[in-house]
Amino acid sequence: MTYNFAAILPELILIFGEPVLMLTASTMGSRATKITTWGTVALLVAASAVLLLTGEPSTGGVLFGGLLVADSFATFGKLLIFGSAAVTIIAAHRWFGHKDEHGPEYPVLVLLATVGMAVMVSSTSLVTLYVGLELNSLAAYVLASYRRTDARSAEAGLKYFVLGGLASGILLYGMSLLYGFTGTTQFTGIAAAFGRAETMSLGLLFGLVFTFAGLAFKVSAVPFHMWTPDVYEGAPTPVTAFFASAPKVAAMLLTVRVAIEALGPAIDAWRQIVVFAALASILLGAVAAWGQTNLKRLLAYSSINNVGFALIGLAAGGAAGVSSVLFYMAVYVVMTVGAFLVVLQLVDDKGEPVEEIERISGLSRRRPGLAAALAVFMFSLAGIPPLFGFWPKLLVFNAAVDAGLIWLAVVGILGTVVGAFYYLKIIKVMYFDDEHGEPVGTVRAPLEMAFILIAALFVSPLGYLLIGPIGEAANTAAAALF
């Protein structure tokens, strides 16, 4: 058995840093909040630097007897996860700070969830898949209910815990069937068993279906999306920003790895499931968002909608399809985090967060820069050219066409048109509606405003300058699965 600890150095940095921060929090109490916040950010930056400087280890490959893998696919995902986690931790420090609710344990919980996500994208066994996923989920349940005095936050945590536990049970049942009918927990062994079977047995088919059902919950794909709007609305806004970015990337990349590496020979079986989930997510995410009055609920349906587009790339299969999914998630993370950073700036005259869409009417006259940034994010999420959000949608549609799924690409394009309505609705409220009720103020947070500016420039037409580097990285990462 190979014990190559150098290949998992980014994870080790986070794992050994976590108890140090937790001990600091337990000994210093609330005074340690700033230390744990910036200490966690420093650990995430250090882990990202190791990934960038070392890339894929020359002695990487499959590690620890086939439990983990150090490859460019995992590296791509970890960079997105670490980056988005760091930004949302910084935003949470300011958001919770004025309420005296920001305990030193908050960034440590995010750090634990991040370690779980790093394991998820590196897993090559059903065992490590489940361990990483549950480490992420258990921390996420606590984060969703972090505001103990807020009934909505408590409700969000309870709903997430109950439905998440149900989904974990479904996933575990599916994995147990795969193990029982293949005799192995390793992805390569499962793929070999599917490849040997001339006709898929009923047990393998049920294992495949239940496994994809559990993973669909984690990416909040229809019909397992029901938790997303309520949890996104009820959880503290920085937590919602975190949920919509890093865990979404981890769950999507985990789904891609399982589909390609473990269940690749059964693509004709799982493609039907993915196609249904993609179309249902696009259509429901577009239509259900029309009547939403809460910004966070609307962005929840936007998340569901965008997952559907990413799943089109997975349905296409092949290296081009996987590459399009990776490119899509890279751009999606920036668009979503940017949009939530803008929402985090909106407060009333008492300093309480503003979440209702009608309350941002006239924002373009009070804070034109902030309104322009939100408009850029909305146009980009809608996939309207020349914004950069158009390009990843084009990539997944091209992958579907190349795979012979022309009809799927056509329906996806129609879904884009339908979904554009509610993005344009926000822009219309900001720029054309008269102010409703008391004017909404904004906080002064220079660091967060810098993040918003960088994200807005990334998703603007200037983002097309990065097509080459991001595309090359996505292609390299996708090739690691084949």
The tokens describing 16, both together, are: 């050994």
**Angle, alpha carbons 154-160-165 (nearest 5°):** 130
Q: In 10 A of CB 426, how many CB atoms?
A: 22
What pLDDT shows up at residue 151? Answer: 82
Q: Which phi and psi (to 5°) does residue 65 adopt?
A: 65, 30
- Tokens 């349940």 belong to which residue? 141
What pLDDT shows up at residue 443? Answer: 65
Query: Which residue from 89, 88, 388, 78 is spatially nearest to 249, judged by alpha carbons?
Result: 78
Amino acid at 473: A
What pLDDT shows up at residue 99? Answer: 58
Q: Which phi and psi (to 5°) does residue 107 adopt?
A: -65, -25
- Tokens 């030193």 belong to which residue? 104
**With contact defined as beta carbons under 8 Å apart, do 234 and 146 qualify?**
no
Positive or negative, the Cα torsion across 6, 10, 11, 17? positive
List the chain pLDDT tens, one digit each, 482 residues: 446 677 788 888 999 988 898 888 888 777 788 888 899 999 999 999 998 887 654 445 677 777 888 888 989 999 999 999 999 999 887 777 655 566 788 889 999 999 999 999 999 899 999 999 999 999 999 998 888 777 888 888 888 888 888 999 999 999 999 999 888 889 988 988 888 866 678 888 898 999 999 999 999 898 888 888 889 988 888 899 999 999 999 999 999 999 998 888 888 888 999 999 999 999 998 888 888 888 888 999 999 999 999 999 999 888 899 999 999 999 999 999 999 998 888 877 666 777 788 888 878 887 888 889 999 999 999 888 899 989 999 999 999 999 888 999 999 999 888 888 888 888 888 888 777 666 566 666 778 888 889 999 999 899 899 999 999 999 999 988 88
Residues 6+ apart with CB under 8 A from 169: none
Q: What is residue 385's DSSP assignment?
A: T
Amino acid at 69: V
What pLDDT shows up at residue 438? Answer: 60
In our burial notation (b when 16+ CB lie closer than 10 A, e otherwise), range 242-253 reads bbbbbbbbbbbb
What pLDDT shows up at residue 146? Answer: 85
**Angle, alpha carbons 121-298-464 (nearest 5°):** 60
What pLDDT shows up at residue 59? Answer: 43
The DSSP H or E segment spanning 238 is: helix 237-243
H helices, E strands: number in the chain: 20, 4
What pLDDT shows up at residue 420? Answer: 84
End-to-end Cα distance, the chain: 23
Q: Which phi and psi (to 5°) does residue 287 adopt?
A: -75, -45
Query: Which residue from 133, 142, 163, 307 is spatially nearest to 230, judged by alpha carbons?
Result: 163
The domain ranges of the chain are 5-479
What pLDDT shows up at residue 58? Answer: 42
DSSP 77-146: HHHHHHHHHHHHHHHHHHHHHTTT---THHHHHHHHHHHHHHHHHHB-BHHHHHHHHHHHHHHHHHHHT-
| Burial category of 155 from C-beta neighbours within 10 Å (exposed 0-12, middle 13-18, buried 19 and up) | middle
Residues 6+ apart with CB under 8 A from 146: 101, 106, 109, 153, 157, 235, 236, 239
C-alpha–C-alpha distance, residues 249 and 243, integer Å: 10
What pLDDT shows up at residue 55? Answer: 61
How far out from the chain centre does Cα 424 lie?
A: 23
- Tokens 């920003």 belong to which residue? 241
**With contact defined as beta carbons under 8 Å apart, do 361 and 429 qualify?**
yes
C-alpha–C-alpha distance, residues 219 and 314, integer Å: 13
Positive or negative, the Cα torsion across 14, 16, 18, 21? negative
What pLDDT shows up at residue 111? Answer: 93
Alpha-carbon Rg for the chain in angstroms: 21
**With contact defined as beta carbons under 8 Å apart, do 328 and 421 qualify?**
no
What pLDDT shows up at residue 430? Answer: 86
What pLDDT shows up at residue 150? Answer: 79
The tokens describing 101, both together, are: 């609710």
C-alpha–C-alpha distance, residues 333 and 251, integer Å: 13
Mean pLDDT, the chain, integer: 86
C-alpha–C-alpha distance, residues 406 and 18, integer Å: 48
**With contact defined as beta carbons under 8 Å apart, do 263 and 207 qualify?**
no
What pLDDT shows up at residue 2? Answer: 47
What pLDDT shows up at residue 348? Answer: 72
Query: Which residue from 72, 25, 75 is spatially nearest to 47, judged by alpha carbons?
Result: 75
What pLDDT shows up at residue 45? Answer: 94
